[in-house]
Amino acid sequence: MPETLLLKNADMLVTMDGERREIAGGGVYAVDGVIQLVGPSDDLPKQADTVVDASGQIVLPGFVNTHHHLNQTLTRNLPAAQNNNLFPWLQAHYRVWARTDPEASRASTLIGLAELALSGCTTVFDHTYLFQSGNKVDYQIEAARELGVRFHASRGSMSLGESKGGLPPDECVEDEEFILNDTVRVIDRYHDAADGAMTQVVVAPCSPFSVSEDLLRESAALARDKKVMLHTHLCETLDEERYTLERFGKRPVEWMEGLDWTGPDVWFAHAIHVDDDEIRLFAKTGCGAAHCPCSNMRLASGIAPVKKYMAAGVKVGLGVDGSASNDSSNMLMETRQAMLLARLQLGLQPPEGPSKYALLPPAHPLRAGEWMTAREALELATLGGASVLGRNDIGSLETGKCADFFTLELNTIGFAGALHDPVAAVVFCAPQTAKTTVINGKVIVEDSQITTMDMGPVIETHNRLSLKLTENL
């Protein structure tokens, strides 16, 4: 028998459909995880196997996280790395992460995915690239299935150790032939290309300073042969730019373009330090960008030119990045920070023309299209992320798409005084915890609690393994 779901009576339902409808008293009806009807609750069926009464709540499409490192929940707030930028921060972590065993990988994945689901996230891309100590991406995929989160896993990689001019220690890298063979294994076993897929696999070498040119070329060829997406870090810091200039005589984007790393099947994490020509190249070739504002601020990496990307037609989604460079896995927080950071970037732009008050530039005037709005930030978190991941079956609430959405209680202290525009309140006000999160038509969060497993023992295990992993540092 088909499994039906009805959400009804939402104070406001944000569809993100082609008309960007916001429906007072709205609802959703789904069959077997696929939306059949979206509209006023009075126009929907009255019964279903699962009924969610969203009275007093706002409903939004599930958020799409386009860049994360779930195993890093084990090393949040690591004292040795609290006050570093990217390269020394990585060097403080590499050997610790390489000690992540299967039990720790499973626990960290469950913790990160649960935290994301509680912030409205329904689809998660994870970039794991250390597979020592018996760790495999398989354990993460199994954990995501157990929790019920839509998961894009990566068989990431590092192959260029310190002795060959890379940043990671030699004991933290793998043989390139083994990497490629294991990537094929993971794709063949787990990747699902169908609409509504709960598991997909991405080919994801780590970064310009941790893999060889040969591995980048071979990874691109493998991904295209298998028809899966390609991902890596790029243009995250000026240190990275210096690295490619000194080693290859090219800026990172030009270097990657020469290695067949541009196209609609490619997206880059961070993409901060780019010029106008590189932005046009991304737009022309269809490359996407995962914007990670909290991590970029935490590591003092810079501010990505998100509004320039949007104006140029570049696909942009949001990513929380690793839980050791963000120390949180909260997509609502990331959405808010994306809006605020874009506004700060606008205010930091130099004024046009000379000023006799060189130290006191005039306040930047409010001009249409320049400021990041709350609804634009929500679009990055939903449709933008879906586009970056190459999916047209998620990101909005409309007929034929996956039944992925979440609700927030509106009558709370945090939203008090902001309900003249409840949609904008979701972004302007402090991030709230999801009341209900539905993924593929199944309730994963109910009354702000994970429903698919008891998280208490997971938290206990996770904390025990985290302390064990970081002892004697």
Q: What is the mean pLDDT of residues 111-125?
A: 98
What is the tally of structural domains in the chain? 2
Q: Checking DSSP bridges between strand 266-270 and strand 230-234, what pairing results, if any?
A: parallel
**Residues 24, 170 within the same domain:** no
Question: Which residues partner with 12 through β-bridges?
Answer: 58
pLDDT for residue 357: 46
3-state secondary structure of 352: coil
pLDDT for residue 349: 72
**Residues 55, 67 within the same domain:** no
**Residues 122, 100 within the same domain:** yes
Beta strands in 32-149 (DSSP E): 34-40, 50-53, 57-61, 63-65, 68-69, 121-126
**Residues 67, 52 within the same domain:** no
Q: What is the mean pLDDT of residues 55-80?
A: 97
Measured over the CA atoms of residue 453, residue 456, residue 460 and residue 463, the dihedral's sign is positive
**For 397-427, b where at least 16 C-beta lie within 10 A, e where not — what string?**
bbeebbbbbbbbbbeeeebeeeeeebebbbb
**Residues 56, 71 within the same domain:** no
Backbone conformation region of residue 33, classed left if phi is above 0, alpha if psi is from -120 to 50, else beta: left
Residue 407's domain comprises: 4-61+397-450
**Residues 223, 296 within the same domain:** yes
**Residues 33, 166 within the same domain:** no
CB 274 within 8 A of CB 244: no
- Whether residue 473 is contained in a domain is answered as no
pLDDT for residue 340: 97
What 8-state DSSP symbol labels residue 70?
G
**Residues 27, 68 within the same domain:** no
Round to whole Å and give the CA distance between 249 and 2: 59
- Whether residue 359 is contained in a domain is answered as no
Q: Which of 375, 410, 432 is the last residue of a domain?
A: 375
Q: What is the mean pLDDT of residues 267-285?
A: 98
For the stretch 95-106, pLDDT in tens is 999 999 999 999
**Residues 190, 233 within the same domain:** yes
pLDDT for residue 368: 57
CB 12 within 8 A of CB 420: no
User: Residue 359 pLDDT > 80, yes or no?
Assistant: no
pLDDT for residue 367: 62
What 8-state DSSP symbol labels residue 230?
E
pLDDT for residue 400: 98
For the stretch 219-264, pLDDT in tens is 999 999 999 999 999 999 999 999 999 999 999 999 999 999 999 9
For the stretch 429-460, pLDDT in tens is 999 999 999 999 999 999 999 999 999 999 99
* Average pLDDT taken over every residue of the chain: 95
Residue 77 belongs to a domain with what CATH number? 3.20.20.140
For the stretch 365-416, pLDDT in tens is 556 568 899 999 999 999 999 999 999 999 999 999 999 999 999 999 999 9
CB 323 within 8 A of CB 69: yes
- Whether residue 285 is contained in a domain is answered as yes
3-state secondary structure of 55: coil
Q: What is the mean pLDDT of residues 37-58?
A: 98
CB 130 within 8 A of CB 172: yes
pLDDT for residue 362: 53
pLDDT for residue 1: 87
Residue 406 belongs to a domain with what CATH number? 2.30.40.10
**Residues 81, 141 within the same domain:** yes
- Whether residue 257 is contained in a domain is answered as yes
Q: What percent of the chain shows pLDDT beyond 90?
A: 93
**Residues 13, 90 within the same domain:** no
Q: Which of 271, 245, 265 is nearest to 202 (CA)?
A: 265
Beta strands in 277-398 (DSSP E): 288-291, 315-318, 321-322
Round to whole Å and give the CA distance between 20 and 383: 11
pLDDT for residue 352: 56
pLDDT for residue 356: 47
pLDDT for residue 422: 98
For the stretch 279-325, pLDDT in tens is 999 999 999 999 999 999 999 999 999 999 999 999 999 999 998 99
- Whether residue 265 is contained in a domain is answered as yes
Q: Which of 1-15, 120-134, 350-364 has the lowest mean pLDDT?
A: 350-364
For the stretch 154-189, pLDDT in tens is 999 999 999 999 999 999 999 999 999 999 999 999
- Whether residue 358 is contained in a domain is answered as no
**Residues 183, 252 within the same domain:** yes
**For 34-45, b where at least 16 C-beta lie within 10 A, e where not — what string?**
bbbebbebeebe
Count each helix (H run) and each strand (E run) in the chain, helices first: 15, 21
- Whether residue 392 is contained in a domain is answered as no
User: Residue 473 pLDDT > 80, yes or no?
Assistant: no
pTM, two decimals, is 0.96
- Written as six digits, the tokens of 317 are 């989604």
Q: What is the mean pLDDT of residues 191-211?
A: 97
- Whether residue 28 is contained in a domain is answered as yes
For the stretch 240-252, pLDDT in tens is 999 999 999 999 9
